[in-house]
Amino acid sequence: MYGGAVDFSGREVFVVGSAGALGSGLIAALTKAGANVLGIDRVADATAADGLRLRSVDVLSDAEVGGLFDAEPVPWAVLNVVGGFAARRPLTQLDLDELESQLLLNLVTAALVTKHALRRMSEVGEGRLVHTASRVAFEPNGSGFAYSVSKLAVVHLVRMAATEVQGTGITVNCVVPSIVDTPANRASMPNSDHTRWPAIAQVAAAYLFLASPAAQLISGAALPVYGRA
């Protein structure tokens, strides 16, 4: 099933962090699969394709995130790709502002999405929540502490949330990509072998699998998508 065709016809799917390269890739894949997609980001793109609904929300505001979920139909799936990145620095040069920023961007946003997604999904007893971690959560060599620990915290959040909804039709998982082949990553690492990085469409397929009805027995998982890197 993974990597194959998935049918989301008639299903409400939220993509949180829709304006980025991965968010746009998810929207394209979900739209092709027949989903009714709501794109959520801090700033909604006025040039969105026909049929795509967009909402501007501050994902660091509990009130705004809660209001969004209350104003929309109960989603079948919520795919969250919001996050931030910080480069490596020695622990002797730890920047507390940077650490706080990474925890806010990666963990707090995921926690708020989890809170309100599970609150609404519990009304119907089914749904899929898929967050975004990172390979550096498990293999910290070459990455900075602030970024890697914030992504590891997302994995822990996923496991705790999965435990809370155990026995229902709701699942909580996360995709764990390595460096995704995006224009921004190519620009920042021009000398890397980009052919070894997973493409956006390949990473999107992992999210769609975990968000599908077929993944009903998978919860609390961290699915690696590393390509050949």
Tens digits of residue pLDDT in 185-195 = 666 676 676 67
**Lateral strand order in the sheet of 12-16:** 53-56, 36-41, 12-16, 77-80, 126-132, 169-177, 222-225
* pLDDT tens-digit series, residues 20-77: 999 999 999 999 999 999 999 987 665 455 558 999 999 999 999 999 999 999 999 9
Answer whether residue 166 is part of any domain: yes
Residues 205 and 29 sit within 8 Å (Cβ to Cβ):
yes
For position 124, what pLDDT does the model report? 98
One-letter identity of residue 180: V
Q: What is the CATH number of the domain that holds 183?
A: 3.40.50.720
Residues 27 and 52 sit within 8 Å (Cβ to Cβ):
yes
- Strands 77-80, 53-56: pairing is unpaired
d(CA 142, CA 159): 25
pTM over 0.75: yes
For position 191, what pLDDT does the model report? 64
Answer whether residue 7 is part of any domain: no
Give 6's pLDDT tier (boundaries 50, 70, 90): confident
Answer whether residue 91 is part of any domain: yes
**Which strand (E) or helix (H) includes residue 90?**
none
Answer whether residue 3 is part of any domain: no
Residues 223 and 211 sit within 8 Å (Cβ to Cβ):
no
d(CA 14, CA 211): 11
Answer whether residue 17 is part of any domain: yes
| Across 164-174, average pLDDT | 98
Answer whether residue 203 is part of any domain: yes
213/196: higher pLDDT: 213
Answer whether residue 214 is part of any domain: yes
Domain tally for the chain?
Answer: 1
Answer whether residue 35 is part of any domain: yes
Residue 127 φ/ψ, nearest 5 degrees: 150, 170
Contacts of 211 (CB under 8 A, 6+ apart): 6, 8, 13, 76, 77, 79, 128, 130
d(CA 218, CA 1): 13
Domain that holds residue 143: 12-225
d(CA 219, CA 128): 9
